[in-house]
């Protein structure tokens, strides 16, 4: 006790700042470490300016010099299914684009002044303006005090009040039911009935999701089972949207490729489905058939006869149908029309509509809305076994609920202003402006690509991408091997480094062997899109000359 009070007095004794600090360190160290040395035998004072770590070292458990603790999580020990996941849309080409952007910001000179990210369908990032009515309703839901403001139209306030009444505590900040806010699910069901000409839709079959991607991944998760040759096989179109291959890898399911017919405007041929299925039966259990309509990345729109053939094939082969219909508003060709799988299924009669299991998906991210950041979406799942429905709700409940603001945005997509309401005229004007503009850009892109020697682009009937076929000379293919790249990745990297244009190589989506493509969005404003296409044209001609 004597020794402690002496040390305490020394620490408090007036002296220089360094001396006081050193005394305090000795005091604390002796308390923790049980130092029994008399004050006169204390350790030498540490040099001025040394930090407090000496006190910590005095009290720490001894660790052998240079001993390192191995990391628990390494590439060898991590989940191999996650390591197998690839997502080309945000893959190596985009990482390189980010590096180039950083170099431009630092003043490093390039043959261009900006990177044009044409790799992803992010409408607002490309300059598309939000739909006023949608943003008004979400703003009112987010900050209800605005409901008293005369700056907002009454029909937007009406929508906001209805959504808020369906939320706990009248707040978007509360959790919703796992399937989503009930009144929004009712609005989705009513929308589907209107879209499909009166075909009934039950709100209990509607599940609000975090974008369409969340719904697709969830359904695949509940479908995958078995091992070895009984492992679930999932049929996907090639080219495909990489979400599917990524989800299949993550779930350790079996990817079954069926090829779209590029020579026939990326048409889906049931004979190709049958070939693919029969081959797959030798090594897995084909259980799921995925359709993307309108197509991503290919932009085709399936006709009614094709959809009927696909549904009959799924019925005949006992396959669960997934219909990715997020681009249902994006149809540009006058000879094409969107037909939902749900509608055609019901029109084919009770043998089909009472038996074929179908999950269809929609989103706020595409269409004319382009509200990617809200992550709003829904799926309708029909003919599900009652026991499985309970399991699906259980699985959804693990993630509590989708973002409620995204649910509100989805509500406006399915419950927009109607004739006679205050906001109708402006809403229709904005919607048609976006879609008409996209139709012009689709035609512009197709025409300009087809003027370039060595590039061929099928008609862009729908969606918001071009997937042109490019000729790559044999010398370029050899150069790509030297750089350990796929030929189309080599092409896209060169395009990025020389022009600042970021597109995604076709190998990230899948393509027939010996063919090469890239995917680019048509979302940039018309004038910027023209510049982009001219740059691609000049680059491609130079590329052919360099490697011929």
Q: Can you tell me the mean pLDDT for 418-422?
A: 95
Q: Is 50 exceeded by the pLDDT of residue 308?
A: yes
Q: Are residues 533 and 450 in the same domain?
A: yes
Is a pLDDT exceeding 70 seen at residue 399?
A: yes
Residue 66 domain-assigned?
Answer: no
Mean pLDDT along residues 284-308 = 94
* Tokens found for residue 306: 């094709």
Q: For residue 37, tell me if it sits in a domain.
A: no
- Over the stretch 140-161, which tens digit does the pLDDT of each residue have? 999 999 999 999 999 999 999 9
pLDDT band at 346 (very low <50, low <70, confident <90, very high): very high
Q: Supply the mean pLDDT for the chain.
A: 86
Would 73 be classed as within a structural domain?
A: no
Span between the terminal Cα atoms of the chain, in Å: 91
- Domain membership flag for residue 60: no
pLDDT number for residue 86: 60
Q: What single string gives the DSSP state of each residue in 285-335? A: EEEEEEEESS-TTT-----HHHHHHHHHHHHHHT-EEEEE-TTTT-B--TT
User: Is pLDDT above 80 for 192?
Assistant: yes
Contact 55, 22 (CB under 8 A): no
Domain annotation covers residue 67: no
Report yes or no on 438 lying in a domain. Answer: yes
- 407 and 485 inside one domain: no
Residue 490 and residue 506 share a domain: yes
For residues 339 and 395, membership in a common domain is answered with: yes
Sorting pLDDT into bands at 50, 70 and 90, what band is 401?
confident
- 355 and 316 within one domain: yes
In a domain, 288, yes or no: yes
Evaluate if residue 519 carries a pLDDT over 50. yes
pLDDT at 74: 66
For residue 97, pLDDT over 90 is answered with no
Are 216 and 356 part of one and the same domain?
yes
Using the 3D structure, point to which of 386, 414, 442 is the last residue of a domain: 414
Q: How many domains does the chain have?
A: 2
In a shared domain, residues 395 and 430: no
124 neighbors 154 (Cβ within 8 angstroms): no
The more confident residue out of 91 and 199 is 199
Shared domain check, 474 and 362: no
Do 470 and 372 sit in the same domain of this protein? no
User: What's residue 91's pLDDT?
Assistant: 67
Distance CA 430, CA 423 (A): 11
Residue 34 has pLDDT above 70, yes or no: no
pLDDT tens digits, 229-281: 899 999 999 998 888 888 898 888 999 999 999 999 999 999 999 999 999 99
Q: Which of 414, 434, 455 is the last residue of a domain?
A: 414
Q: Are residues 286 and 379 in the same domain?
A: yes
Structure confidence at residue 243 (pLDDT): 86
Q: Which of 240, 216, 336 is nearest to 292 (CA)?
A: 240
Parent domain of 315:
132-414
pLDDT at 28 over 50: no
Q: What is the DSSP letter of 40?
A: G
Alpha-carbon distance of 89 to 28, in angstroms, equals 57
Last residue of a domain, one of 370, 391, 414: 414
The pLDDT assigned to 95 comes to: 85
Residues 434 and 398 in one domain: no
Cβ contacts of 31-40, under 8 Å, gap ≥ 24: 31/4, 32/58, 32/59, 33/58, 33/59, 36/3, 38/3, 39/3, 39/6, 39/7, 39/10
Q: Which of 33, 21, 27, 42 is nearest to 60 (CA)?
A: 33
Name the residue with higher pLDDT: 97 or 293: 293
- What integer pLDDT is reported at residue 53 of this predicted model? 56
How much is the pLDDT for 14?
46
Query: How far apart are alpha carbons 445 and 448 in whole angstroms?
Result: 5
Enumerate the β-bridge partners of residue 261.
267
Q: Is the model's pLDDT at 55 over the cut of 70?
A: no
Mean pLDDT (whole number) for 517-544: 93
**Distance (Å, rounded) from C-alpha 379 to C-alpha 474?**
46
Question: CA 324, CA 219: separation in Å to the nearest integer?
Answer: 12
pLDDT over 90 at 189, yes or no: yes
Model confidence at 380, pLDDT cuts 50, 70, 90, reads very high
Mean pLDDT on 366-372: 90
Supply the CATH number for residue 504's domain: 3.90.1150.10
Residue 48 within any structural domain of the chain: no
Helix axes 526-547, 424-449, angle to 10 degrees: 20
In this predicted structure, the answer to whether residue 358 has a pLDDT above a threshold of 60 is: yes
Is residue 59's pLDDT more than 60? no
| 530 or 82, higher pLDDT | 530
Instruction: Give the CATH number of the domain where residue 292 resides.
Output: 3.40.640.10
Same domain? For 122 and 136 the reply is no
């Amino acid at each position: 006790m004597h020794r402690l009070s002496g040390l305490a007095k020394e620490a408090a004794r007036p002296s220089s700042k360094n001396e006081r600090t050193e005394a305090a360190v000795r005091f604390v160290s002796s308390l923790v470490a049980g130092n029994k040395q008399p004050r006169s035998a204390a350790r030498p004072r540490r040099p001025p300016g040394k930090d407090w770590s000496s006190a910590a070292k005095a009290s720490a458990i001894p660790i052998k010099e240079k001993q390192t603790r191995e990391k628990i999580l390494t590439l060898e020990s991590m989940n191999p299914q996650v390591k197998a996941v690839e997502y080309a849309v945000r893959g190596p080409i985009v990482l390189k684009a980010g590096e180039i952007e950083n170099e431009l910001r630092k003043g490093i000179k390039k043959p261009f002044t900006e990177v044009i990210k044409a790799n992803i369908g992010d409408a607002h990032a490309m300059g598309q303006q939000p739909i006023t009515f949608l943003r008004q309703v979400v703003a009112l839901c987010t900050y209800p005090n605005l409901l008293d403001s005369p700056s907002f139209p009454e029909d937007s306030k009406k929508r906001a009040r209805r959504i808020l009444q369906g939320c706990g505590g009248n707040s978007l900040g509360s959790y919703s039911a796992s399937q989503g806010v009930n009144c929004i699910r009712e609005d989705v069901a009513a929308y589907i009935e209107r879209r499909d000409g009166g075909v009934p839709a039950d709100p209990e079959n509607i599940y609000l999701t975090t974008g369409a991607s969340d719904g697709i991944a969830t359904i695949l998760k509940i479908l995958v089972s078995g091992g070895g040759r009984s492992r679930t096989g999932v049929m996907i179109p090639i080219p495909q949207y990489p979400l599917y291959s990524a989800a299949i890898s993550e779930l350790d399911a079996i990817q079954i490729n069926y090829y779209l017919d590029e020579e026939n405007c990326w048409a889906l041929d049931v004979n190709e489905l049958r070939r693919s299925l029969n081959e797959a039966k030798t090594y897995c259990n084909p259980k799921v058939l995925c359709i993307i309509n309108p197509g991503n990345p290919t932009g085709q729109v399936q006709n009614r006869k094709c959809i009927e053939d696909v549904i009959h094939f799924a019925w005949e082969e006992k396959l669960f149908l997934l219909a990715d219909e997020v681009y249902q508003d994006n149809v540009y060709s006058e000879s094409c029309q969107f037909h939902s799988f749900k509608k055609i299924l019901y029109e084919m009669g009770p043998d089909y509509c009472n038996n074929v299991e179908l999950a269809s998906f929609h989103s706020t991210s595409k269409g004319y809305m382009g509200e990617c950041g809200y992550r709003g979406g829904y799926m309708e799942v029909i003919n599900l076994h009652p026991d499985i429905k309970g399991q699906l709700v259980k699985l959804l409940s693990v993630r509590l609920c989708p973002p409620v603001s995204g649910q509100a945005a989805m509500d406006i997509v399915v419950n927009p202003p109607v004739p006679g309401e205050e906001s109708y005229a402006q809403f229709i004007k904005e919607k048609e402006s976006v879609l008409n503009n996209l139709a012009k850009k689709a035609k512009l892109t197709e025409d300009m690509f087809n003027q370039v020697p060595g590039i061929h682009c099928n008609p862009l009937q729908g969606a918001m991408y071009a997937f042109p076929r490019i000729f790559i000379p044999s010398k370029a293919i050899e150069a790509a091997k030297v750089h350990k790249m796929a030929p189309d990745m080599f092409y896209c990297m060169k395009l990025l480094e020389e022009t600042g244009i970021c597109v995604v190589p076709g190998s990230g989506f899948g393509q027939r062997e010996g063919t090469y493509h890239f995917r680019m969005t048509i979302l940039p404003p018309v004038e910027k899109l023209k510049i982009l296409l001219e740059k691609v044209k000049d680059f491609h001609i130079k590329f052919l000359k360099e490697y011929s």
